[in-house]
Structure 1
Amino acid sequence: MYNGRMDPMEHVSHFNQRMAVHSKNETLMCKVFPSSLRPVAMRWFDGLEEDSISSFKELTRAFRARFVTCSRVPRPLDSLLSMTMREGKTLKTYSDKYWKMFNEINGNFDDVAIKTFKVGLPAKYDLRKSLTRKPVRSVRQLMYRINEYKRVEED
């Protein structure tokens, strides 16, 4: 349900996924779309002039234009460079925050993610030493290694 505060592009994408088997039926798509709207967005929809929309594409274009201020802006790649593990924080806290930010960046930057994660660790930290001695080649390998060190930290 779209509440007027979420990213409208994400909402349209989710709606399209739910309606995939009916995607060729423009009329049905337009008629069902309002059922995915909460009151704020429904007021907008109800305020559309009759016959002002002639296709589902036009409807979604108008919807996105109306709620553009809610659009999620991807984070720039260099935001990973500012990530560091703060004194007294756990590896779990750092990695959770790091991966949350990583997921907000558009594009495939696994190599940068691996390097910046390592650089963000304190120099004396065992995981950083391990990643220097035996570098990982993928984010999956990095996450596996992080999880090994998190388990040790939790014990």
Structure 2
Amino acid sequence: MYNGHIDAVEHVSHFNQRMDVHSKNETLMCKVLPSSLGPVAMRWFNGLGVCSIDSFKELTRVFGSRFVTCSRVPRLLDSLLSISMREGKTLKTYSDRYWEMFNEIDGDFDDVVIRTFKVSLPTKHDLRKSLTKKPVRTVLLLMDRINEYKWVEED
């Protein structure tokens, strides 16, 4: 349900995914889209002039331009540099914050992600030492190594 506070492009993308089997039927797509709109967007939709929209593509373009202020702007890669493991915080807390930020960045930067995670750990942290001695090559392997150390930390 589009509530006016989430990214309009993402909403349309999810809607298209759900409606994939009907994607060739533009009329149906235009008639079903309103069922995914919350009160604010529904008021906007109801305010559209009769016959003012000629296609589903135009409807989604107008929808996106109306709710453009809700669009998610991807974070820059250097946002990861602002995160570090704070004194007295757990590896779990640090990694949760790091991956939350990571998920907001567009692109494929595994090597940079791995390095920034490692250098943001305290110099004496066992995980940092492990990553220095035995580097990982993928984010998935980094996550596995983090999980190993989180278990040790929790025990």
**TM-score by shorter chain over 0.5:** yes
Q: Counterpart in 2 of 1:130?
A: 130
1:1-155 mapped onto 2 (5 Å cutoff): 1-155=1-155
Runs of 4+ in 1 over 6 A off after TM superposition: none
**Is the partner of 1:131 in helix, strand or coil?**
helix
Q: Identity across aligned pairs (percent)?
A: 79
Which segments of 5 or more consecutive residues in structure 2 lack a partner in the other structure? none
How far apart are the structure 2 equivalents of 1:13 and 1:145?
34
The alignment of Structure 1 onto Structure 2 pairs a total of residues equal to 155
Q: Indicate the RMSD between aligned Cα atoms, in angstroms.
A: 0.4
Deviation at 1:105, TM superposition (A): 0.3
**Is the partner of 2:112 in helix, strand or coil?**
helix
How far apart are the structure 2 equivalents of 1:83 and 1:35?
40
TM-score normalised to structure 2 length: 0.99
